[in-house]
Structure 1
Amino acid sequence: MNIQEYADRDMLAIDVANVLAGDLEAALLHHDTVSLAVPGGTTPGPVFDGLCAADLEWDRVHVLPTDERCVPGDHDRSNERLIRERLLTNRAAVAQYLPLYVAGKAPEDVLPEVESLINPVLPLSVLVLGMGEDMHTASLFPGMDGLEAALDSHAPTLAVARTDVQPEARITLSAQVLDGALSKHLIIFGTAKRDALERAMSLPPEDAPIAAVLGGMTVHWAE
């Protein structure tokens, strides 16, 4: 794991956008198509604003969320909505989006259908993750039902996440898919999350799911 510190969040957003563009460009030199998995939430938005303008062959890039709430794609809590509004615009508008959730279907019922679309783009070329102060990442939450199975090295591509602290079910990439990405980046802000990351380094993934994917990770941090 390598930690990169930045003077402020604006500098981080600019630099990380450039780094991700470089990773994608390098991957495109060796593969017909590449895959980019990204989180939702507010943290990656400024990075997306810069990345979407990168001069890449975006029509060869598959973009997918690391996890998704089981809500319609235009819902305020939808990761797809943020990704479409902030990343799949400008030059990146021609990238192909792969959703994790199909509206109107129970998440367990849709997993085989979604996995059939995602498996051909694995391993992930480039991965961007966030992390909560509880040390969750994607929708792998400490204490959630099914966490042990989602952390297993032989887990399927996707898992359904249900927790008492979240109002809706989620679909998430499993730990083995996240950890298998060829280029991995974690973006965190603030002292509390930096402290949480340091705690996670000495905890098992069952208590700190982010610990399952830290090998070879580049961490981008600003106050």
Structure 2
Amino acid sequence: MKLVEYADSEMMAMALADMMASELRAALRQRDRVLLVVPGGTTPGPVFDDLCGARLEWERVDVLPSDERWRPEAHIRSNARLIRERLLVEEAASARLLPMYARDRTPEDAVGDLAEAMGASLPISVLLLGMGADMHTASLFPRADNLALALEPGAPVLVPLNVAGEPEPRVSLSARVLNDAMSKHLIIIGDAKKAALERARGQSPEVAPVAAVMDDLTVHWAPE
């Protein structure tokens, strides 16, 4: 794991967006299409605002959430909605957003078909993750019912998860798929998240799921 510290979150967003754009360009020189995986939540929004203006062949880029709340895209809690509104605009408007939700189906029933549809886009070329103070990443929560499955070396591409206290079920890319990414980044802000990351380094993935993706991970941190 490599930690990169920035003076403030604005500088971090710009630098990270530039780095990811360069990595996407490099990947596009190697493959006809590339896959960019990004998180939901508020932290990556400024990165999206900068990355969407990058000049590259976005029409050859597939974009996928690292995880999704089981809500339609129009819902305020949908990660796909955030990605479409903040990232797939300007230069990036021609990128293709891959679905991680199926209307009128349960996560358990839909994950197989959703995974099959995204299979041709794998492996991930560029991955951006977030992390919670509880040391979860994507929807790999310490208290999730299917966490053990999501952490297995032979885990499926997508895992349905129910998290106690959360208002809806979720689906998440498994740790195996996240770790197969050619380039892996984690963005965190504030002293509390930095302290949580340090705690995670000495914990098992079952206790601190972010520990499952730390190998070859570049962590980008800025103060509040």
**In structure 2, distance between residues paired with 1:129 and 1:180:** 14
One-letter amino acid matched to 1:52: C
**In structure 2, distance between residues paired with 1:103 and 1:191:** 39
**In structure 2, distance between residues paired with 1:74 and 1:60:** 25
**In structure 1, distance between residues paired with 2:46 and 2:135:** 22
The unaligned stretches of length 5 or more in structure 1 are: none
**Which residue does the alignment assign to 2:151?**
151
1:66 Cα deviation from its structure 2 partner: 0.2
**In structure 2, distance between residues paired with 1:131 and 1:125:** 20
Asked if 1:49 corresponds to 2:49, the answer is yes
1:123 Cα deviation from its structure 2 partner: 1.1
**In structure 1, distance between residues paired with 2:98 and 2:220:** 26
One-letter amino acid matched to 2:143: G
Contact 2:34 2:62 in 1 (8 A): yes
**In structure 1, distance between residues paired with 2:40 and 2:22:** 21
**Which residue does the alignment assign to 2:69?**
69
SS at match of 1:116: helix
One-letter amino acid matched to 2:120: P
**In structure 2, distance between residues paired with 1:25 and 1:45:** 21
1:212 Cα deviation from its structure 2 partner: 0.2
One-letter amino acid matched to 1:142: P
**In structure 1, distance between residues paired with 2:53 and 2:204:** 39
CA distances 1:151-203 after superposition (whole Å, capped 9, x unpaired): 00100000011011211000100010011101000000000000000000010
Identity of aligned residues (%): 56
Output the aligned Cα RMSD.
Answer: 0.6
**Which residue does the alignment assign to 1:121?**
121
TM-score (normalizing by structure 1): 0.99
CA distances 1:101-154 after superposition (whole Å, capped 9, x unpaired): 112211111111101111111110000000000000000000221111110010
> Which residues in structure 2 correspond to 1:52-201 (within 5 Å)?
52-201=52-201
Contact 1:70 1:103 in 2 (8 A): no
* Ranges of 4+ aligned residues in structure 1 off by more than 2 Å: none
Contact 2:126 2:182 in 1 (8 A): yes
**In structure 2, distance between residues paired with 1:44 and 1:92:** 16
One-letter amino acid matched to 2:20: L
**Which residue does the alignment assign to 1:28?**
28
SS at match of 2:193: helix
CA distances 1:54-79 after superposition (whole Å, capped 9, x unpaired): 00000000000000000110111000
